[in-house]
Amino acid sequence: AVGSTAERAVYDAFAAYRELLAGAGEYLAGRVADLDDVRNRIVARLLGVPMPGVPDSDEPYVLVARDLAPADTALLDPSLVLGFVTEEGGPTSHSAILARALGVPAVVALPGAGELAEGTMIAVDGSTGEIFVNPSDEKKGQLEAAAAERKAALAASTGPGATADGHKVPLLANIGGPADVPAAVEAGAEGVGLFRTEFLFLDDNKKAPSEEKQVVAYRQVLEAFPEGRVVVRVLDAGADKPLDFLTPADEPNPALGVRGLRTLLDHPEVLRTQLTALAKAAEGLPVYLEVMAPMVADRTDAKAFADACREAGLRAKFGAMVEIPSAALRARSILQEVEFLSLGTNDLAQYTFAADRQVGAVSRLQDPWQPALLDLVALSAEAAKAEGKSCGVCGEAASDPLLACVLTGLGVTSLSMGAASIPYVRATLAKYTLAQCERAAAAARAADTADEARRAAQTVLSGE
């Protein structure tokens, strides 16, 4: 800008893009911290001052920050980071993702975290979202004992997911493409519960990928899980994943507009090509392929998707994602058209509570422990059981080991999560019987708040 310093011009230039990202839905809004990091590094170079980032340390530490950018996380020494505490962020922020990958506790979106003085002794309990400042010797002993117990259980945890009395709960991986497969296999995933296919379409925002390109990518994933289950979500375009050739640029409220299956039904040729590619990719492979549609609102949506699958010659189970409250309320009706349900708890929470996940003022409503959300999970699971069909969870809720027990108690038949979470969920499930999980689920649903639900489940499972 005329009359501005170079540093001011950088801030002004980035401000417009920052605003665009912040209003573009959960995923892109979660990348605002990345943009801020690039801006701050440019300004630091212009001013001739040290680049912003994580301070060096030779001793183990808990990292406290406003949020973490990719450049920061790439330089961290995993052997020294004991945990994370951030003022901002959420389940999809870099700090939360990295914490899960490293297997260290993390507490995100904690107001006032930045006020902690460097050198303060703190303890972080990622399972409860609590931190303890200058903990007593007794509290430190309790936390260390719990950590040792978790480590031992983790080391002993192998094989398929199951409760202590042998009730099977398949533990599957959420993946975003073939590059995520090795980590899923290494973690012992029993298959894939959510294969996001957007990566193929985001490579070129101007046109859909060819059928041949899709076949190659899908087959890479299917071949990695012989005799396993792979659940593919067809393209979920719109809202936070806009595509120039598919989604309107002038929608006033993309999250409540044409997204997911709605977009594909408006562009049947894109859906047809994707389903045909999946059918060809699965030919001759000993894999249990399942295909599901995002943003299914009712039976009409479910029928339209199932019809499209059959017309494409797809030999697979057809399913619907439950991300809209209407789908949970009418789950049994939807199951007349499809063979399974998969709960996307992230979007389901957003639409249930009319609360944008990137707005800190309503963050308490995003908590997957909210009793109203658990009620919708239970409704869906009960409908599936009544119809003799399956109902899984592929949202962030499944990666919480304690909540995984509650979801199992609600009747969910499989859990899908980031690969790094699988060993922790497997170890925790193995400690409790199905009856204990059911009692914990009932206690959580009887609570009035998310915090009360969490404490109620903990009390039941700890035998207090």
- Residues serving a catalytic function are 94, 394
Encoded tokens for 155: 């080391």
| Length of the chain counted residue by residue | 464
> Do 327 and 295 contact (CB within 8 A), yes or no?
no
Distance between CA atoms of 350 and 369, rounded to whole angstroms?
Answer: 13
> Residues 63, 83: contact at Cβ < 8 Å?
yes
CA dist 271 to 217, 267, 268, 363, Å?
Answer: 16, 7, 5, 35
Residue 294 and residue 274 in contact, taking contact as beta carbons nearer than 8 Å: no
Helices (H), 330-397: 331-334, 345-353, 371-386
Structure tokens at 66: 């406003």
Residue 79 contacts by C-beta under 8 Å, 6 or more apart in sequence? 60
- With a CB cutoff of 8 Å and minimum separation 6, the contacts of 288 are 191, 227, 228, 229, 230, 317
Rounded CA-CA distance 388/390 in Å is: 7
